[in-house]
Amino acid sequence: MLNLTSVDWLIMLLYFVFVLGIGFALKRYMKTSKDFFQAGRALPAWICGLAFISANLGAQEVIGMGASGAKYGLETAHFYGIGAIPAMIFVGIFMMPFYYGSKARSVPEFLRMRFDEKTRALNACSFAVMTVFSSGISMYAMARLIQALHVFDGLFRALGWNPDGIFTFSICLSALIVLLYIFLGGLTSAIYNEVLQFFLIIAGFLPLVLIGLRNVGGWSGLKASVPMAYMHEWKGVAHASTNPMGIEIIGLGMGLGFVLGSGYWCTDFLVIQTAMASKNMESARRVPLIAAIPKMVFPFLVILPGILAIGLPTPHTTTTITRTADGAIHHETNVVPLNVEEGRGLVPAKINPVTGKAMLTASGQPLLDYDMATPNMLLHFFPTGILGLGLTALLASFMSGMAGNVTAFNTVFTYDLYQSYIHKGGSDRHYMAVGRWATVGGILLSIATAYAAINFNNIMDTLQLVFSFVNAPLFATFLLGMFWKRATGHAAFAGLISGTAAAMLHHGLTLPIEARPGIHGGWIAVLHNYPSDMAMNFWTAIFAFSANLIVTVVVSYCTKARPEAELVGLVHSLTPKPERSHIVWWKRPEALAVGVLLGAVALNIFFY
Amino acid sequence: MTLDLRIPMGAMFTLLGVILTLFGLATRGSKIYEASLGINANFWWGLVLLAFGLTMFLLGRRGQKRLASLPAEPPEDGQARRGH
């Protein structure tokens, strides 16, 4: 049972005061729409770099990676080693010159410059929907977690409110805070708070990992307490049946590394917007590379708690018999709830609320609630005081995940939908006001999404699924757009549509083993079974990407190419190399990229 | 941009550090530390946060002083002026 004392509340309150304080302090700098939507394009690279990874450090990272660590073990680190680092290097070195150099204000706007109006409209609409969906999931996850951890129970009891309102209260509170600081300070405020939250996550999770590791007897003790396959990132990856995730090397390399990872880090305006807010081209290119450095260390912080949670002994109901001095026998029974007893380590089982029994998978194993792995670790190891810090870090991560989505949404809505199709030629003040109100609208839509129930037992899988429908085909469009001058607008549009269609078709025709047809796949017919839902997600992405690539190339050759003069600054072969002789070689982004790459390789060897 | 993030951030972590360190001192040897394997997690981690917060705060102050001593802002578009 969670017992928060006033120290915990004080720490939480302090964080909220600073978050809002930053918003208020930034309000007076918000003079033009450029200040509001693009942070004036004036921020230092390190701040944008930390915000770049922090924008992604929402629910899917902190809870989802812990859940994934508990479910699949260290193989989850592939989301970093393969899924993120190479893509971050690629976007910094090769793609940022076009994003930043084109002076586009958003990723959809870049698509309009490179291709045409309809490609942008398609991307802007699907992106707007996706950001709202992501931020809604973030909110839902947070409210559910607050309920499960009984954070506000004491407060509600003290105020005499109905505890059923905790879900709504948590959603409204977080929505209000995020709304306020973005409404006041725009993207700058979101970025500053993301950096704040980045350090808070480290402050909250580093001691957890240290204490947890000490408890199991260090790294070697952890190895001894979990199955062998859990502690290897690469071993057994050659074949689907020999690793916990059930993925073979091609699905992993292509699906995660080339398609999903790149689709996310290289094209998602949610992260790109932070790099586009930096002060000059060299900084913008350095942003993803700076972000890659802490990204390499993050497996220790977010995956290890999940593995530790599985490795710890499962609590059981115990009875100890003691004899007191006067000879009386005492039975002391320590009753453990059924969901804990049926679980593994600190990961509880899911209990069917109707029958009161543990829910089972198709093979008769108890269905584990992996999302509780990391939060249970916090409750298990942290005494009051630092527990407040840990919970604040958790809440902060949810809020910054939401904030990144909301700022991306208000920019895309205002520039790419409102200014382009609803009201052209308004004053700058007008668009800034629209942006502020789009923030309100985006948050209201997220709240609506949050109330729509989620069927997956792993937030990560849900998000990967959404990304694979929308983002995976996208990377092919950008790759061809930036590096192949022949690609045309009609082709890009057709390619995007067919990519998303291919993703949906593949999802409808295949099913992971141990899942029933429905939201997990197979809603048309089951032609193929994958060993895990993660493997299926990767292959969905591969099909989407390939369909887009092929259709775009074919249609490009059938349609008229744009004159080369119009594509200068947008396509690699037609853009002059920037003058960089004034920068010492080791200060250039390329040198940093090589360093990051070497670090990533070393880390993968270490985790082999 | 005139607000250096390191100043509010440093201030926040300094305050967090002070709160945790003091609370850790006040609860020395308390039963609450059974959870964290007998380590006074509040005290030690409070010290770490305090050090981090102060460093950030001082760096931010120094950066702001340096910025104030500079003559004028560079041109708006960030491009160095080149000879014609």
B36-67 pLDDT, tens digit per residue, is: 777 888 888 999 999 999 999 999 888 888 87
Best interface-test mutation with B: which of A386, A391, A392, A580 has the largest number of B CBs within 10 A? A386
Neighbours of B65 (CB within 10 A): 9
Q: What is the pLDDT of residue B75?
A: 46
User: How far is the C-alpha of A192 from the C-alpha of A198, rounded, in Å?
Assistant: 10
What's the confidence (pLDDT) of residue A344?
Answer: 74
The reported pTM is 0.85
Over A362-425, what HEC string results? CCCCECECHHHHHHHHHHHHCCCCHHHHHHHHHHHHHHHHHHHHHHHHHHHHHHHHHHHHHCCC
Local confidence band at A373 (pLDDT 50, 70, 90 cut-offs): confident
Region A578-582: what's the mean pLDDT?
A: 68
Distance from CA of A363 to the nearest CA of B (A): 36
Contact residues for B6 (Cβ-Cβ < 8 A; gap 6+): B56, B57, B59, B60, B63
Query: In A, which residues are within 8 Å of B27 by CB distance?
Result: 383, 385
Assess contact for A575 and A568: CB atoms under 8 A: yes
CB contact under 8 A, B36 and A381: yes
3-state secondary structure of A330: strand
pLDDT beyond 60 at A458: no
Q: Does B50 touch chain A (CB under 8 A)?
A: no
- Is B18 in CB contact (< 8 Å) with chain A? no
ipTM score? 0.84
pLDDT-based confidence at residue B84 (cuts at 50, 70, 90): very low
- Across the interface, whether the CB atoms of B27 and A14 are under 8 A apart is answered no
Residue A63 C-alpha, separation from nearest chain B C-alpha, in angstroms: 21
User: CA B76, CA B84: separation in Å to the nearest integer?
Assistant: 19
CA of A383: which chain B residue's CA is closest? Answer: B32
pLDDT at residue A239, rounded to an integer: 61
Q: Considering only the beta carbons, identify the residue of B3, B13, B35 that sits closest to A26.
A: B3
Cβ of A383 and B20 within 8 Å?
no
**Domain A42-314+372-606 grouped into CATH 1.20.1730.10:** yes
State the amino acid at position A120 in one-letter form.
R
Contacts of A280 in chain B (CB under 8 A): 78
Q: Could you tell me what percent of chain A has a pLDDT over 90?
A: 8
What pLDDT score was predicted for residue B77?
Answer: 47
- Confidence class of residue B82 from pLDDT cuts 50, 70 and 90? very low
Give me the residue from A43, A215, A385 closest to B37, CB to CB.
A215
Mean per-residue pLDDT of chain A? 81
Q: Is A318 helix (H, G, I), strand (E, B) or coil?
A: strand
pLDDT at residue A212 greater than cutoff 80: yes
Residue A319 contacts residue A331 (beta carbons within 8 Å): yes
Between residues A320 and A557, which one has the greater pLDDT? A557
Q: Are A170 and A138 in contact (CB under 8 A)?
A: no
Q: Which residues of B touch A15 (CB under 8 A)?
A: 12
Q: Which of A21, A196, A386 comes nearest B45 by C-beta?
A: A386
Distance from CA of B1 to the nearest CA of A (A): 7
Strands A329-334 and A510-512: unpaired
What does the pLDDT read at residue A270? 83
Residue corresponding to tokens 């949906």: A504
Q: Among B11, B49, B38, B79, which Cα is nearest to A41's?
A: B79
- Hey, of B22, B30, B32, which one would you mutate to test binding to chain A, going by the most A CBs within 10 A of its CB? B32
* pLDDT(A219) > 70: yes
Element holding A329 (H helix, E strand): strand A329-334
A145-151: long-range contacts, CB 8 A cutoff, minimum separation 24: A145/A63, A145/A371, A145/A375, A145/A394, A145/A398, A146/A170, A146/A395, A148/A372, A148/A375, A149/A2, A149/A375, A149/A379, A149/A391, A150/A1, A150/A2, A151/A2, A151/A4, A151/A391
B chain contacts of residue A203, beta-carbon cutoff 8 Å: 13, 16, 45, 49, 52
CB contact under 8 A, A14 and B19: yes
How far is the alpha carbon of B52 from chain A, nearest alpha carbon, in Å? 10
Cα R_g (chain B), whole angstroms? 21
CA distance B69 to chain A (A): 19
Q: How many CB atoms lie within 10 A of CB A505?
A: 16
Inspect the interface and report whether the beta carbons of B41 and A207 lie closer than 8 Å.
yes
Under an 8 A CB cutoff, do B12 and A15 touch? Answer: yes
Read off the pLDDT of each residue in A63-91 and give the average, rounded to a whole number.
82
Which one of A7, A14, A29 has the shortest CB-CB distance to B23? Answer: A7
Q: Strand A318-323 to strand A329-334: parallel, antiparallel, or no bridges (unpaired)? A: antiparallel
Pairwise CB contact (< 8 Å): A43 & B1: yes
- What is the token pair recorded at A28? 């007076």
From A565's Cα to the closest Cα of chain B, the distance in A is: 24
Residue A554 has pLDDT above 90, yes or no: yes
Q: Using the structure block, give the residue that is written with the tokens 């584990």.
A: A368
Q: In which band, very low, low, confident or very high, does the pLDDT at A244 lie, cut at 50, 70 and 90?
A: low
- The number of C-alpha atoms within 13 Å of A521 and in the hemisphere containing its C-beta is 31
Q: What is the mean pLDDT of residues A146-156?
A: 81
pLDDT at A144: 79
Q: Is the pLDDT of residue A167 over 80?
A: yes
Task: Count other C-beta atoms under 10 Å from residue A507's C-beta.
Answer: 24
